[in-house]
Structure 1
């Protein structure tokens, strides 16, 4: 049984459509007003300096919109999105989507003493907001760590090795869940166990090299993890 489960968000715990059709449009609508109101904030100013360095000669708002339209995993974009989403979550305008099978398994695994971590291209700020304001309640107390692109690219083995070190475990005792085969390849190269989440509603296509499951309870059954209706082990 894994001693730690690291999970992706988009396409794994949450619908791809939630990100594309709810979170991204929320930022698109709020971006100009947010920048006008907060441009003097040191944290926002630092992000805008990063944007200018990466897109010289381009208006920062235009660069941010272009990256978002192409779903590019650019760190200053992800950081700014997290700030804007915070306003939406705290105002009740946003609620974090999770597939119905996720929360019960996370609770059961945490109760069994299994460390739970999130690794997503979305910023740590955004991850905390999503899991802190889900339809199933605040799940952040279950989670022992969060990693984003500051840890490293999701398709590089070194990123997963770094996560295992932070968790204080050998990679072989860590299970990584994602819908993206290239991410699973990188985690496997680092020595982790892997499982692809193949959500029919997201149109995910199963690869051939990694175990695949349609739901978190299937993951539990395949890797010896407790199911939601089972008492915690030990």
Structure 2
């Protein structure tokens, strides 16, 4: 009996293109300005310090830090300080009405059905917890955040390492046999299965690389819960 569902975002609940063609460019476009305007704020200063630590050097200026962060965006680097800063920038975009979180048409339908059936819903994405809440809180289908019981990001661990999923199980207090992980990335599914979770791969578009070792579905309607 599946009691909880942990879902990825990109290619799973939401379009990869939305993240890579809308969110990432928006963050890059506004990054340098945002840093200059908010560098003295504790949350931003902490992320700049974390960026310097990961680079192994100090920055002589805000622009030097921005150069590094823009490079990380181009590399699609899963670095926590970058993800946190992106989330702060996106928060401005959502608040100003310039951004709206994309979700596939079937996503809200099945999230609501699973929630109504008593399944606990969680998100595990490389984007920061704050960014996850923004996508679902300002989604095309309205505010979906009341459906979720919790959010996990890279602070919990790397998505392709089984240890991260074991920590998630500890946090939600369920055995892996009662938790289903949804993702379009086979390596993430492998790691989740190694930790004991049930898995299903979403094959929503040509960008998804099929991993036949896992059950597959073209959208949420093809997922078997029980």
Please classify the TM superposition score into its range, dividing by the shorter chain length.
over 0.9
Give every structure 1 segment of 4 or more consecutive aligned residues whose post-TM-superposition deviation is greater than 2 Å. Answer: none
SS of residue matched to 2:163: helix
Cα drift, residue 206 of structure 1: 1.3
Residues 186 and 209 in structure 2, CA contact (< 8 A), matched pair in contact too: no
Aligned to 2:190: 185
Q: How many Å separate the matches in 2 of 1:86 and 1:139?
A: 16
Q: CA deviation at 1:116?
A: 0.1
User: d(CA) in 1 for partners of 2:192 and 2:31?
Assistant: 34
Query: Aligned residue for 2:176?
Result: 171
For structure 1, list consecutive stretches of 5 or more residues without a partner in the other structure: 225-234
Counterpart of 1:44 in structure 2 is: 44
- Compute the displacement of 1:89 (Å): 0.6
* Alignment-derived partner of residue 217 in structure 1: 221
Could you tell me which runs of 5 or more consecutive residues in structure 2 were left unpaired when the two chains were aligned: none
Q: For 1:53 and 1:203, how far apart are their aligned partners in 2?
A: 34
Corresponding residue for 1:231? Answer: none
User: How high is the TM-score relative to the length of structure 1?
Assistant: 0.92
Structure 1 position 162, deviation (Å):
0.9
Q: What pairs with 1:118-137 in structure 2 (closer than 5 Å)? A: 118-137=123-142
User: What CA deviation, in whole Å up to 9, does each residue of 1:75-131 have, x standing for no partner?
Assistant: 100000000000001111100000111100000100111000000000000000000
Q: CA RMSD in A?
A: 1.0
Tell me the CA shift for residue 167 of structure 1. 1.0
Q: 1:217, CA displacement in angstroms?
A: 1.0
Q: What is the alpha-carbon distance in structure 2 between the residues aligned to residue 41 and residue 23 of structure 1? A: 23
Write out per-residue CA displacement over residues 45-74 of structure 1, whole angstroms, 9 at most, x where no aligned residue: 010011111122562101101111010100
Matched, 1:67 2:69: no
SS at match of 2:122: strand
1:208 counterpart residue number = 212
1:16 is matched with which residue?
16
How far apart, CA to CA, are the structure 1 residues paired with 2:111 and 2:171? Answer: 20
CA contact (8 A) 2:176 2:197 kept: yes
Distance in structure 2 (CA, Å) of the matches to 1:140 and 1:223 = 21
TM-score by length of 2: 0.95
Q: Does 1:153 align with 2:158?
A: yes
